[in-house]
Chain A
Amino acid sequence: MSMNVNGATAKLPTDARVSLLDFLRDHLQLYGSKKGCDQGACGACTVLVDGERILSCLALAVQYEGRKITTVEGLADANALHPLQQAFIDHDGFQCGYCTPGQICSAIGMAAEAKRGVPSYVSGDLAADVILTREELQERMSGNLCRCGAHNGIIEAIRETMADEAAE
């Protein structure tokens, strides 16, 4: 009974009440994923499960047996930041930084969705290829709140890093 977190095997908790977020933070000491609202309203706890973004606060850890979890700690390689992490620095995509790990994990999941053609509520033509305009990015990232108001920098960082990649 285990899952894979950032490449390492982690034994599942015995208490089924433990959320994936609490498991990551309190059991595995991975403090990157943040507890903002703990009720699915802010996105600060966003992690990737087999490449898809989810909210770890609403996930029971026991439901994720055998799955591959990636948190913000798993993004950089030994020598360099993930390009999106660097872009957040370059574009001032944060002030306090509390929402940042969730924003970055969310944006990586978002780019994968766009690449496989998932439309959004603001897409004019549901059958067309996705073009990540500013309006599309704002809609697709609306599940991640930033109370400092760094959204403009966040969108710029994502646009620089992800838009080209998704449009390929």
Chain B
Amino acid sequence: MTPFTYVRAGDIADALRLGAGSAAAYLGGGTNLVDLMRETVARPGTLVDVTGLSDTIEETDGGGMLIGAAVRNTSLAEHRAVRTRYPVLTRAILAGASAQIRNMATVGGNLLQRTRCSYFYDTEGSRCNKRAPGAGCDAIEGFNRNHAILGASVMCVATHPSDMCVALAALDAIVHLRGRHGARTLPFTELHRLPVDHPEIDTMLEPGELITAVELPPLPFAKTSTYRKVRDRASYAFALVSVAAAVQLDGDRIEDVRIALGGVAHKPWRALKAEAALRNGPATKEAFRAAAISELAAANPLRDNSFKIELVTRTLIAVLCDLAGAAA
């Protein structure tokens, strides 16, 4: 690990001042950043500990929620109102990592965790455009079973590793930011970038900008929502694919629906095409399959991961069948 200075931020203004330099990085629970530093993938000169900032979960007017960026993953998953009003979020968090890691990891840190592509981590032996811009990508012709099938580029085929973020994408969450130029918000689905020709940049954050909170807008039918994750072992593994969904039925017709996919792209993938195909249509297995196919028409699989197309299709059908049964 490269030597660094550790400082603790007392408040947001303090954090922004300390985090202003290009060598500074914000530190949450450390479950990803400490590992990246140990592997020398990340080499910040200053770590600004922001775990002392907002760790409250508040209910907002109109039935939404405002979640402080320093809230621990476990605290969010176990919150009573989240469990009953946004079960997709509780289930997604509980599908990720292990209990020990969820006790440490913060909400802000979960959003900003980096890909687990093994070529990104391999500083000694692999080329990676995300780690060393312009170096090349060894994953494209390499072992790419875990990599992206949607939205990738010739520069990068990495996937975003978070489960929680897939649920937040489905829920139309809003990210609250503070930077040198004041406060702003971003729709959650616009926080993360596709790789295009700059895979080294994961998000739309400005240098030194800080995530202060994540807002869940009211979405009454999210009470009928869930998250399903498919992985190589039953627990404690990253997703091959995952599905977050919420469904509102009117009789046997789908009145409204939210779908996001994990394990398929450089960002949590909001499945707008599948949603459009389903809205105002019948809640049948055939319709669910057609919706999956419409979303995946743009898929561009690599040597080892074409199985993900059928796996996403089957997982989405299973999730929607469960929710349609539960909502009926």
Assembly CA distance A165 to B296 (angstroms): 48
Q: When the two chains form the complex, which single residue of B27, B51, B84, B91 contacts A121, counting CB atoms closer than 8 Å?
A: B91
Assembly CA distance A110 to B229 (angstroms): 22
A38 contacts partner chain B, Cβ-Cβ < 8 Å: yes
Contact across chains for B100 and A119 when beta carbons are under 8 A apart: no
A19 contacts partner chain B, Cβ-Cβ < 8 Å: yes
A143 contacts partner chain B, Cβ-Cβ < 8 Å: yes
A106 contacts partner chain B, Cβ-Cβ < 8 Å: yes
| A143 with B100, Cβ < 8 A, contacts A58-B35, A60-B34, A118-B77 known | yes
| A60 with B6, Cβ < 8 A, contacts A119-B83, A127-B84 known | yes
Contact across chains for B99 and A113 when beta carbons are under 8 A apart: yes
A29 contacts partner chain B, Cβ-Cβ < 8 Å: no
Contact across chains for A53 and B6 when beta carbons are under 8 A apart: no
Contacts of B17 in A (CB 8 A): none
Contact across chains for A16 and B5 when beta carbons are under 8 A apart: yes
Contact across chains for B234 and A58 when beta carbons are under 8 A apart: no
Contacts of A138 in B (CB 8 A): 234-235
Q: When the two chains form the complex, which single residue of A39, A55, A63, A121 contacts B95, counting CB atoms closer than 8 Å?
A: A121
Contact across chains for A142 and B6 when beta carbons are under 8 A apart: no
Summed over the interface, the residue pairs from A and B with CB atoms below 8 Å come to a total of 100
B47 contacts partner chain A, Cβ-Cβ < 8 Å: yes
A18–chain B nearest beta-carbon distance, Å: 9
Contacts of B101 in A (CB 8 A): 40, 55, 58, 143
- Most A-side CB within 10 Å, residue of B83, B91, B95: B83
Tell me the residues in window 112-166 of chain A with beta carbons closer than 8 Å to chain B beta carbons. Answer: 113, 116-121, 126-127, 138-140, 142-144
Contacts of B180 in A (CB 8 A): none
| A38 with B236, Cβ < 8 A, contacts A58-B30, A126-B84 known | no
Contact across chains for A54 and B104 when beta carbons are under 8 A apart: yes
A17 contacts partner chain B, Cβ-Cβ < 8 Å: yes
Assembly CA distance A52 to B78 (angstroms): 14
| A142 with B51, Cβ < 8 A, contacts A52-B103, A54-B104, A121-B91 known | no
Contact across chains for B104 and A119 when beta carbons are under 8 A apart: no
Q: When the two chains form the complex, which single residue of B3, B4, B30, B91 contacts A126, counting CB atoms closer than 8 Å?
A: B91
Interface code B202-244, partner A: CB below 8 Å = 1, 0 otherwise?
0000000000000000000000000001000011100000000
Q: Which residue of A lies closest to B3 (CB)?
A: A17
A114–chain B nearest beta-carbon distance, Å: 10
Q: Which residue of A lies closest to B105 (CB)?
A: A58
Contact across chains for A54 and B103 when beta carbons are under 8 A apart: yes
B38 contacts partner chain A, Cβ-Cβ < 8 Å: yes
Tell me the residues in window 5-51 of chain B with beta carbons closer than 8 Å to chain A beta carbons. Answer: 5-6, 27, 29-31, 34-35, 38, 47, 49, 51
Contact across chains for B94 and A120 when beta carbons are under 8 A apart: yes
Tell me the residues in window 5-27 of chain A with beta carbons closer than 8 Å to chain B beta carbons. Answer: 15-17, 19
B167–chain A nearest beta-carbon distance, Å: 13
B87 contacts partner chain A, Cβ-Cβ < 8 Å: yes
Q: Which residue of B lies closest to A65 (CB)?
A: B8
Q: Which residue of B lies closest to A145 (CB)?
A: B236
B110–chain A nearest beta-carbon distance, Å: 14
A59 contacts partner chain B, Cβ-Cβ < 8 Å: yes
Beyond A39-B38, A58-B104, A106-B100, list 20 extra A-B contacts (CB 8 Å).
Answer: A16-B6, A19-B34, A39-B35, A43-B100, A53-B103, A54-B100, A54-B104, A55-B31, A55-B104, A58-B29, A58-B31, A60-B27, A60-B47, A106-B99, A113-B74, A121-B91, A126-B87, A138-B234, A140-B99, A143-B99
5 CB < 8 A contacts A-B: A53-B103, A54-B104, A63-B27, A109-B103, A143-B236
Residues of A with Cβ closer than 8 Å to B? Answer: 15-17, 19, 38-40, 43, 46, 52-55, 58-60, 62-63, 106, 109-110, 113, 116-121, 126-127, 138-140, 142-144
Name the 6 nearest CB pairs between A and B, nearest first: A143-B98, A142-B235, A16-B6, A121-B94, A126-B83, A142-B236
